Structure 1
Amino acid sequence: MSEAMVAHAEGALEMSAGARALVVDNLVLSFGGNEVLRDVGVRLEAGEITGLIGPNGAGKTSFFNCLTGLYVPQRGSIRFGGEDMTRVPPTGRAARGFSRSFQHVALCPELTIAENVMIGLQRGAAAGWLDAFLPLSRGRAERARHREMALAALARLGIEPVADSLPAQLPPGVLRLAEIARAIAGSPRVLLLDEPAAGLNSLETRDLANALKKLRGPELVLVVVEHDMDLIMDVCDTIHVLNVGRVLASGSPAQIRANADVVRVYLGEDDE
């Protein structure tokens, strides 16, 4: 192979990898003159689990809300797959493969776990409202397909046996995994998890860590905002540390542990 062909192939691979990254550049967000994000720039790679940490008031929630489309920054950009997502609303991002979980588990108590997961597939449903009231074949086929997808998501996280249980019958750790199953049922390209270990005990957090590792894939950008440092250090490939609205440090878990500034402002203090 000639040098030109090698260079072309390497360039194509680089472009392909870049197309799968979620790239944030010089993000600025202000509320009433108070700048909560200041020129934040990070690259969130597909194939990795990326952690986002920082002390209280660091800007983690604001940054997360910019990624999900709830907040629109005053300056800067968010790009994914070669497309500028900065001002695309949450519904538009969902249509482009963005999915998220919430800090507080929000499952419908009257529905089974499988039915709760199926809710995450309704955005792409083809059947209309009439199918919900009449036994039309299209509606039956789609519900059957959605149940298969829900069961596959539950199985991926190791909790398929609870598919037909109600939320009230299950412990918090399983409910958290069920919510993540709902987020992954539609095979997202970007998965944003907001404090998935909140309210879990050590055994449940260990199960969560094992489940998150199973989600790592070459086509998925997986971002975890979390306070549990043991979890973050265990599952993440790259960690970004925010402090007073700026990126204080980025690197591997080992690099973050060894960073004197991070230890001083965050790791050396109590978690928020």
Structure 2
Amino acid sequence: MNAPIRAVHAEAARNVAHALLVRDLSLSFGGNQVLHDIGLQLEPGKITGLIGPNGAGKTSFFNCLTGLYMPQHGEIRLGSDNLIRLAPPQRAVLGFSRSFQHVALCPELTVAENVMVGLDRQSHAGWLDAFLPLGGGRKERARNRELAMSALQRLGIADVAQAYPTDLPPGVLRLAEIGRAIAGSPRVLLLDEPAAGLNSIETRDLAESLKKLRSPDLVLVVVEHDMDLIMDVCDIIHVLNTGRLLASGSPGQIQTNPEVVRVYLGDDDA
């Protein structure tokens, strides 16, 4: 086997080792079947889109990934780790991070301080460090501030680090929330409708920021209704409909898939 082929095989093996694997995932509430045998491989180094009509099961799928919902059947693996019985805090320790549809920043904290909140799971200082000038607590706070500033710099909003959320527009607040989600260098980042409530200019800036997050060590999944954003930033898109996987493919393949057009995208005349 020559060197280029070996490199391709090695890269494929690495992706599988770090991928988020979902097999035969089913979820129901009472007699209502929400997800039907979903099987996906969410790969690092790519931005994955998850789309579908309202009620398709997108948020329920996210909640299964993070442990908020316990599916009745199926398997969720991150590399060699089986996650299906792990609670949300345990999955956070393994590197799961997510945002929600509505921005939730503390108005009494600066942007940098809000981002530092996302590092709590990595912090070791106890309550006593909050009241006494202990060396360990000081070092940890300095480290967390440095990581927070790095996340804001990566998203291009380091200049508002000392501002308060009430003084900033929605687009910047959304980026600050994403900054909080990435400050701890997650292995899996789940973004739930990050463009909700943003205007066209803010959505464009968001798209450019999301592209900067693409990393060989990060599984990045975006649920979104803004199709221009999804088609712009995503490498692969999965389409859900009534809790079932309808289609998977590149943006071009999804745009021309007749079933996807019929149930979700519509046509130009519509």
* Same fold by TM-score greater than 0.5: yes
Q: Which amino acid aligns with 2:199?
A: N
| Equivalent residue, structure 1, for 2:212 | 214
The separation in 2 between residues aligned to 1:176 and 1:245, in whole angstroms, is 28
TM-score of the two chains, using structure 1 as the length reference? 0.95
1:155–1:10 Cα change, 3 Å:
closer
1:147 to 141, 145, 148: 145
**Structure 1 233/10 Cα, relative in aligned 2: closer, same or farther at 3 Å?**
closer
Q: Quick one: distance in 2 between partners of 1:183 and 1:5?
A: 38
1:85–1:113 CA distance, 2 compared to 1 (3 A) = same
* Aligned CA distance change for structure 1 residues 154 and 66 (closer, same or farther; 3 Å): same
Q: Deviations over 1:88-127 (max 9, x none)?
A: 1110110001101111000000000000000001111121
Look up the equivalent residue of 1:30 and give its one-letter code.
S
User: What's the offset of the Cα at 1:221?
Assistant: 0.2
State the distance in 2 between where 1:200 and 1:27 align.
32
Corresponding residue for 1:156? Answer: 154
Q: Which residue of 2 aligns with 1:266?
A: 264
In the alignment, the residues of structure 1 paired with residue 183 and residue 267 of structure 2 have an alpha-carbon distance, to the nearest angstrom, of: 38
Identity of aligned residues (%): 71
What is the CA-CA distance between 1:163 and the residue it aligns to? 0.2
CA distance in 2, matches of 1:35, 1:204: 37
Q: Which amino acid aligns with 1:95?
A: V
Is the aligned partner of 1:136 residue 2:134? yes
Task: Please report how far the alpha carbon of residue 177 of structure 1 lies from its aligned counterpart in structure 2 after TM superposition.
Answer: 0.1
1:167 aligns with 2:165: yes
Aligned to 2:247: 249
Aligned to 2:181: 183
Indicate which of 66, 89, 92 corresponds to 2:90: 92
Paired position in structure 2 for 1:21: 19
State the secondary structure of the residue aligned to 1:65: helix
- The two structures, once aligned, show a CA RMSD in angstroms of 1.8
Q: Which residue of 1 aligns with 2:116?
A: 118
Q: Give the Cα separation in 1 of the matches to 2:198 and 2:4.
A: 50
- Once the two structures are TM-superposed, the CA of residue 33 in structure 1 deviates from its matched residue by 1.6
1:226 partner amino acid: E
In structure 1, what is the Cα distance between the partners aligned to 2:220 and 2:146? 23
Query: Which is further off, 119-128 or 106-115?
Result: 119-128
Compute the displacement of 1:269 (Å).
7.3
Could you tell me how far apart the structure 1 residues matched to 2:42 and 2:104 are? 27
The SS at the match of 2:100 is: coil
Q: Which moved more, 1:249-258 or 1:12-21?
A: 12-21
1:72 to 70, 73, 92: 70
Match of 2:200 among 193, 199, 202: 202
CA distance in structure 1 between the partners assigned to 2:8 and 2:197 by the alignment: 45
> Could you give the per-residue CA deviations for residues 137-168 of structure 1, whole angstroms, max 9, x where no partner exists?
11111111111100000000000000000000
> What secondary structure, in the 3-state scheme, does the structure 2 residue paired with 1:51 have?
strand
Deviations 1:154-191, CA, capped at 9 Å, x for gaps? 00000000000000010000000000000000000100
Q: Distance in 1 between matches of 2:122 and 2:40?
A: 31
| CA distance in 1: counterparts of 2:223 and 2:249, whole angstroms | 15
**What letter corresponds to residue 143 of structure 2 in structure 1?**
R
Letter in 2 for 1:138: G
Match of 1:50 in 2: 48
SS at match of 1:72: coil
- TM-score between both structures, scaled by the size of structure 2: 0.95
Q: d(CA) in 2 for partners of 1:203 and 1:115? A: 26
Equivalent in 215, 222, 225 of residue 224 of structure 1: 222
Tell me: CA distance 1:168–1:9, structure 2 relative to 1, closer, same or farther (3 Å).
Answer: closer
Give structure 1 stretches of 5+ with no counterpart: none
Structure 2 residue ranges without an equivalent (≥5): none
| Other structure's SS at 1:36 match | strand
Q: Shift in Å at residue 4 of structure 1?
A: 11
The secondary structure found in structure 1 opposite 2:114 is helix
Measured in 1, the distance between the counterparts of 2:46 and 2:19 equals 10
